Amino acid sequence: MSRIGRAPIVIPSTVKVTIGDDNTVTVKGPKGELSRTLHKDMKVTMEDGQVKVERPSEEKKHKSLHGLTRTLINNMVIGVTTGFTKNLEINGVGYRAVKQGNNLNLSLGFSHPVIVEPPKGITLDAPAANKIVVTGASKEEVGAMAAKIRSLRAPEPYKGKGIKYEGEHIRRKVGKAGAKGKK
C-alpha cells in the first residue's frame, strides 16, 4: 500500500467536498472553489468527514496513481482553507515591481515595462520594490504563475541579476580573467 494514499484526508468543518459520478471532486471553502476530474480507476469515497482513496489492484500504474490522487485532493482542501503562496525576489540595479490595480508592472532592464496580468483566482502583490507575492487557492496555478514571472528575467550566473524564488540559491560563475599575464 502507498503510505501517502492510505492516509485519509480530514475535511475541516468550513469545507464542503462533493464527489461526482465521473470521479470529479469539487471542494468549496472560504478561499474559493476548486474542481478536478481524477483518474477513472481510483475509487474516492467520503465517510465520517474524511475522504479516502482506494486503488483497484497492485499494478504499478495504480500504485503510482494512488498517492497522486490523494495528494491532489489534499492540496485542493488546503487551497480552499489557507491558500498557497510563492514569494519571488528581484535583484538588479533599476529592477523593480509595482502593483497597478490587479496587474503587476515590472521594470526589468528592457526598453519597455513588462505588465503581468494574473489569471482568475490568482492575486499578485508587490509589498516592496524588490519583492513579489503570488497567492491563490490552486497550488498548480500559483506555481505556474510564479514560474512565468521568473521566466521574464531569470537570474543570470555572473552577477545574479533577475527574478528568483525566495530562498533559491543561484550558482555563481567567475567572470573573464582578462589579459592577466599576457603581453
CATH number at residue 68: 3.90.930.12
> Which secondary structure element, helix H or strand E, spans residue 43, and what is its range?
strand 43-47
Phi, psi of 67 (to 5 degrees): -65, -40
* Domain contains 173: no
What pTM, to 2 d.p., does this model score? 0.88
Task: List pLDDT tens digits, range 103-160.
Answer: 999 999 999 999 999 999 999 999 999 999 999 999 999 999 999 999 999 999 999 8
Give residue 68's domain range.
Answer: 3-81
User: Quick one: pLDDT at residue 179?
Assistant: 62
Structurally, the chain folds into a number of domains equal to 2
Residues 54 and 112 occupy one common structural domain: no
Q: Answer whether 69's CB lies under 8 Å from 7's CB.
A: no
Q: Is residue 66 over pLDDT 60?
A: yes
Q: Which three cell numbers stand for residue 118?
A: 494574473
Q: Answer whether 84's CB lies under 8 Å from 142's CB.
A: yes
What integer is the mean pLDDT of 4-29? 92
> Helices 139-152 and 60-81 meet at what angle, rounded to 10?
80
Give the model's confidence band at 17: pLDDT under 50 very low, under 70 low, under 90 confident, else very high.
very high
* Domain contains 22: yes
* Domain contains 177: no
Residues 22 and 49 occupy one common structural domain: yes
